[in-house]
Amino acid sequence: MRSYEWPILLFCGAIFLSPVNDAIVKLVTVEMSIAEVICIRALYCACILLCIKNNVKELTRTDIDTLFLLFCRAALLSMSMFLYIYSLSFLSLSIAVSTFYLAPIFVSLLSPVFLREPMRFNNITFVLIGFFGVLLISEPWSADPKAEVLLVVIAALSYAFFQLLTRATSSKAGTLTVVTVQHLALSIISGVVILYNFKVTHHGSDFSRIIKNYSFENLMLIFICGLIVLCFSFASANAYRKTHAFKIAPLEFVAIPSGVIWSYIIWNDVPSVSAFGGIFLIFMVVVPRNN
C-alpha cells in the first residue's frame, strides 16, 4: 500500500464517525450554548494533546510565522463552524447541508490557484457528481431558500480555505503541532465568544445563554465528542498533508451518507428513495474513484 493510501482510508473512517459528534452536539446544546460546547470540547482535546511526550517542546520550537499561520487556519475553521451553526436558526437542515458541501468544489477550484496543484477534468467531474449525491440526500428543493444561505456559502468557503491552509503548511510543522494549535486556538476563540455573551444578549440565539452548572452527563458526552473530533482532526490534517487537496476533497462527501446511516441507527429515521440514490452515487462512484 502506498504512503498516502493509509491516511486517506483513515480520513474516510473518521468522516464516517463524524455524524456521531453532530448528534451528540445536537443533544447537548439543548442545555448548553454552542460556544460552551466548542470551548469545552477544544479544551479536552488540547489537554490530551499537551500530555503527549515532547509535544510542548515541539510547539516552542515552531517559529512565530508558522504559529500565526496555524492560528489563522484554526480561525477559519472556527468561523466556518459558527456561521454554519448560526445559519441553522434561519434555514432548513437540507438547505444548510447541501449549501455547505460546496466546500469540496471550492477546494478543487481553488487548489490550482493557491497551491499550484494541477487541475484535472475528471477531478471536477467527480466532485460535481458527489455534490449531486448530496442534493439527492438533503433534498433542498423541498424547502424555501432564504437570503441567509449566503452565511452557509461563506462558511463553506472558510472551510475550503482552512483545508487549503492545511496543505500549504504541511512542510512547516508536524501533524501533532498543527492539531494542537488548532484546538488551543478554538478554545481561545470560543472562550472569547462566551465572554462576549456576558455583556451582549442576542434574543432567540443559542449564543446568548448564561453559563450554568454543567451536568456530569453533558461533560462526558462532550468528552466523547472530543475524542471523535480529535480522531477527525488528525486524520484530516494528515490526509491533506500527504496528497493533493483536489484528491481529498471528494471524500468529504462521505459525511452525508454516513449521517443518513447514523440517523437511522440512532433515531430510526428511514431515508427517502432519492437519499438512497445519493448514497449510491457517493459510495459507489465518488469514493471508489479515489482508490
Please report, in tens digits, the pLDDT of each residue of the chain (291 residues total): 566 677 788 888 888 888 888 778 878 878 888 888 899 999 999 999 999 988 888 888 889 999 999 999 999 999 998 888 777 777 766 667 777 878 888 888 888 888 887 777 777 777 777 788 777 776 666 666 667 778 888 998 999 999 899 888 888 888 899 999 999 999 999 999 888 877 765 555 554 455 556 889 999 999 999 999 999 999 988 888 887 777 777 777 777 777 777 777 876 776 677 777 777 777 776 655 555
- Regarding pTM above 0.85, the answer is no
The three three-digit cell numbers of residue 113, written as one number: 490557484
Comparing CA positions, the residue from 165, 173, 291, 163 lying closest to residue 232 is 163
The three three-digit cell numbers of residue 12, written as one number: 474516510
DSSP 191-248: HHHHHHHHH---TT-GGGPPP-PPPHHHHHHHHHHHHHHHHHHHHHHHHHHHS-HHHH
Q: Using CB atoms within 10 Å of the CB of residue 163, give its burial: 0 to 12 exposed, 13 to 18 middle, 19+ buried.
A: buried
Q: What are phi and psi of 4, to 5 degrees?
A: -90, -5
Cβ proximity of 55 and 176 under 8 Å: yes
